Every structure is written in C-alpha cells, then in structure tokens.
Amino acid sequence: MLKQVVMFGSMVLAATTLLADDAALIKKVKEAGILALPKDPKALTKLAEQSEDAKLNPTTKEKVELGKKLYFDPRLSRSNLISCNTCHNLGLGGADAVPAAIGHKWTANPSHLNSPTVYNSVFNSVQFWDGRSAHLADQAQGPIQAGPEMAAPKELVEERINSIPAYVAEFKKAYGKDVKVDFKLIADTIAVFERTLVTPSRFDDFLNGDSKALSKAEKEGLDLFIEKGCTACHTGVNLGGTMQPFQVAAQYKFASLGDFKGDANGMVKTPTLRNITETAPYFHNGAFWSLSDAIKEMGSTQLGIAISDAEAGKIATFLGSLEGRKPKVDYPMLPAMTDATPKPTFD
C-alpha cells in the first residue's frame, strides 16, 4: 500500500513538474513578444477588425461573399486568366509555390519577388515586401494594375464589373442602392474577404493553456527558437509582419538574385511564420526550398550565429505547429458576362 502511495505521489509530482515547465515556456514565449490568436471566435474576429481599412469598411456577410467572388475572378485581369488566387492560392498555403510570381504574358516578377501568403496577412503591420501599403485594401489595388501581374487599368476593371448586372446587384446589397462601384471599392471588398483568412493553430492552443497541444519535440524547438534569438524579428500575433533591417550580420547568400533592396532605409517586411511549412520557397526572392536551410541562413545573415543541422531541424519541428486551421472556402460560381463586358487582351 505504501509503495502504491509513493508511486502515485511520484506521478503527481511528475505531472506538476510538466505543468510548471509548460507554464515557464509559455511565460518565456510571451516575454519574447509573441502573442496567441484568441481562442474565442468573437475575440479573433474583433482582432482582425482592428486594421485601419476594417474601421472604414466593417465586415458583413454580404461583403465577404462578394469579396470572395472578386478574389477568385480572373476577369479582374486584362487577360481574363489571372485572379488574386493565382498567386495567393488558398489551397497552397495562400502562396503560389514558385520562386517569383508569374503574371501577365507569363512574366516573372521583374524584381524576382516571391508571393507572400494571404493567410493571416490582416495581422501584418504593413503589406508588400517593402511595406509600402499600410493595409490590405490599399495592397489589393497594386497587383491588379501592375503590368507584370494582372495588368488591368482601373477603368477596365470598373467597366468589366459594372457591365455584369449580378455584380452590380451584389454591390448594392452589400453597400446600399446608391453605391458607386469604382476601383477602390472593388479592392476594398476583396480586402474584406481577405480579413477572414485567419488560421489559429496548435501553437495558439498551447499558449492559450492546452499543454498537450504541442509535442515534447515541438516544445524543445520552440524553446530553441527563442534561445537562438529568432524573436528579434518574428514577434507579435503573426510572428512577423513588421519592417525590420535585413542582412544585419552578414550578406544574404542569394542577395544578387533580383534587384530588391527593401524600402528607402533598407528595411524589409518580416514574413509571418504561420503556415510557413506550406509556403516554400522562402525569402523575398524565393531562393530557398528547404525550411531547415532557410533557418540556418537566417542564423548567419540576421543573428551572426551558426545554427547546426540538428538545431535547424528542431526549430523546423516547432514551426510545424504553426500550420493553422484554415477557414472553409467554397469556390464561388461567378456571374455571367454580358455583351457589354470588355473582352480580354493579351498585348
């Protein structure tokens, strides 16, 4: 009987120690500046509505459904071939699985820039690699008009959408009968849909108190992630999304690939690490296909340290816990064109 009591006491002590270790790790994560996505769906929605464009254009069910159609509609491009989903494919982690984005006339991005994921982009403090847009609504205007991307002038987009009665009716339903369907509103509505593309993960579950959400190996990788200094840039609720100096300790191995130099001060938007295991290749120019190799490169380039293969593997194991639960998105049936709808061009 005494032996059973001692064994039971040992089990309780072990469980208590485990919980204490988890609490200490969670505290360490939060002290490093990393925040969890809220567990409560209403709180999560509220967080996504904190952006500047959301305050000007609050989310409604009608706007989300309309924005989804516009997001998937290739007729927003000059050729009728390229949609937002082409480069930010919701089935591919919100990216496109190629080093440099491919656009109009099969043109690769002239700066050899990789398409960032659209998932959780609402939590970025800025948009684009050089941070030139403050929020999603402004960002959505750029690729539609850009020559190497969708190559559609504002006037063409407005004419196409306004020539489709079902679209006009949906805009009136979403914004009121007197709404003017212009280019800005079209982009704003796409952004409303993009704000819903948030992906809570097992990592968030762990930070929110579920000690079993992460494996022992993932917890070890998380601890190493912090110890190595990765949180110098990858912090906040998105573990990234802010402007940071690049090539702090050494020159990036593939610095000569493309002509991107960051913003005027050489700052670059730090990519979110959410769903990072699904969005290869990595870095602004898509030069690395291996996540472990990308981790080692960050060690030398940003931190001035050598990260071993074993250490990179452990950190990569933790990063797998950031694969989030994706919102269910049904591919929409798009409204029919009319005789008045401008035809595609390919020049």
Binding residues for heme c: 84, 87-88, 104, 230, 233-234, 298
How far, in Å, CA of 196 to CA of 183, rounded? Answer: 21
Encoded amino acid at 253, one letter: K
CA neighbours within 13 Å on the CB side: how many for 78? 19
- Which alpha helices (DSSP H) does 32-114 contain, by range? 41-48, 52-56, 61-72, 84-87
Which residue out of 149, 194, 278, 311 is catalytically annotated? 149
Binding residues, by number, are 84, 87-88, 104, 230, 233-234, 298
Dist CA 288 CA 294 (whole Å): 6
| Residue bearing tokens 């981790």 | 295
Measure the CA–CA gap between 87 and 72, rounded to whole angstroms.
11
Is the preceding omega at residue 143 within 30 degrees of 0, hence cis? no
DSSP 156: H
* Catalytic-residue membership of 149: yes
Catalytic residues: 149
